Amino acid sequence: MTMKRMSVAEALRAGIAEEMERDARVFCMGEDIGVPGGWGGAFTVTLGLEKRFPDRILDTPIAENGFFGAAVGAAILGLRPIVDVQYGDFLFCAMDQIHSNASMLRYMSGGALAVPMVMRAPVGATGRGAQHARNVERFFTGVPGIKVVAPSNAYDAKGLLKAAVRDDNPVMIFEHKLLYGSKGARTESGAVDATSEIPEHDYTVPLGTAAVKREGTQVTICAWLLMLHFALQAAETLAAEGISAEVVDVRSLSPFDFDTLGASVRKTGRVVIVEEGPVSGGVGAELAAGLAERFWRDLKGPIVRVASPDVPVPFAPVLEHAYRPDPARIVEGVRKALR
């Protein structure tokens, strides 16, 4: 099988292009996504696609509520829009269209219509201060009618994107700025290698599935996006101390894959949930509640959350470092869980 090493940005680009090739109903709409001489979106994902699909890469005004709403209307009439924001924080500008229309119109219509659209959003603190930094996953995981995924590597990014395009529901894909592997002027400092070997053949990664990334016996570390990479680093450190940690990429934030997560919890009996974002009201809170409700008999101790403090994202590097969980804090969390 021929494989090719790709970054997350390249894998997403390849996935979008393949889906547009496969299905003429697929099109992209967003800010600065196909301007010749531009960047191909804020993180180069759509770079050059306007040359291949001149009528289906639509550059919009800076009007997130407007073009997310337009995506809803186009999806209802049979198209398959992929819309993106430059930073996840801007999803709040489009919130009415996402929450009141995309997520609800099928239910309000009694199942008469569907809203098959893909929404892409970069998240994560990256030295840009408070308003280009939030991990906004938490605001969408409790929304009935929307599915939410968050790939940690290029293979999953491409496979989940393709699955999202083929799904008949609104699907939100959260991508981490430090995992894109964006190049040139859009290179991120502090980036983490999330490249994968990508097969040439068509594949999807099913929505709604988690993946065990490292097997272990004493504790289950649940994480996604950048935190998954930090969790793997922490597991390495712990292994050197003789602690065997299993690391699960939650990957699907709504719905959770309780089969995969539960199997791990049954095996280890201890859980650490890692989340970039304030600890209160986060995705981790819902995950902890869901695991406790289902698997409390298997738990040998309280579920531990390693997350950011309840503050906005700060700017100064020393403060941002204090904000975001790192491998050392995850190791500390695991020790707490094992006590």
Partner 1 sequence: MTDATRYPREFVLGLYERMLLIREFEEQVKFLFLEGAMPGTIHQCQGQEATAVGVCSALTHDDYILSTHRPHGHALAKGLTPLELLIELFGGATGCCKGKGGSMHVGNLARGMLPAIAIVGGNIPVAAGMGLAIRMQKRAQVVACFFGDGATSEGAFHEGVNLAAIWNLPVLFVCENNHYGASTHYTKITRLKTMADRAAGYGIRGERANGNDVLAVHEAARRAATECRAGQGPVLLELMTYRLTGHSRRDPCQYQPKEERQAALRNEPIGAFARALLARPDVAEADLEAVRSRVERQIREAVEQARQAPKPTAQDVLTDVYA
- Looking at the annotation, which residues are catalytic? 64, 132
Q: Which of 28, 75, 283, 304 binds partner 1 (CB under 8 A)?
A: 75
Kindly state the tokens that stand for 303: 């579920």
Q: Which of 16, 47, 74, 330 binds partner 1 (CB under 8 A)?
A: 74
Is 1 a binding residue for partner 1 by CB under 8 A? The answer is no
Of 35, 43, 32, 109, the closest CA to residue 76 belongs to: 109
Q: Is the peptide bond before 255 cis (omega within 30 degrees of 0)?
A: yes
> Edge to edge, what strands does the sheet with 57-59 contain?
57-59, 26-30, 80-84, 118-123, 171-176, 147-149, 252-254
Could you tell me the smallest distance in angstroms from the CB atom of residue 298 to partner 1? 28
d(CA 306, CA 284): 9
Q: How far is residue 197 CA from its own chain's centroid?
A: 19
Write down the residue that tokens 């800010």 correspond to.
31
Residues 149-188 that bind partner 1 (CB under 8 A): 168-169
Is 65 a binding residue for partner 1 by CB under 8 A? The answer is yes
Q: How many residues bind partner 1 (CB under 8 A)?
A: 44
Residue 160 pairs in a beta bridge with: none
Is 110 a binding residue for partner 1 by CB under 8 A? The answer is yes
Is 27 a binding residue for partner 1 by CB under 8 A? The answer is yes
Of 333, 254, 256, 337, the closest CA to residue 294 belongs to: 256
Stretch that binds partner 1, among 113-121, 151-159, 223-231, 294-302 (CB under 8 A): 113-121
What sign does the CA torsion over 28, 87, 63, 60 have? negative
Is 199 a binding residue for partner 1 by CB under 8 A? The answer is no
Could you tell me the smallest distance in angstroms from the CB atom of residue 97 to partner 1? 6
Considering the complex, state which of residue 5 and residue 22 has its C-beta at the smaller distance from partner 1: 22
Residue 197 pairs in a beta bridge with: 5
Residue numbers at the binding site for partner 1 (CB under 8 A): 27, 55-56, 58, 60-61, 63, 65-79, 81, 96-97, 100-101, 105-116, 144-145, 147, 168-169
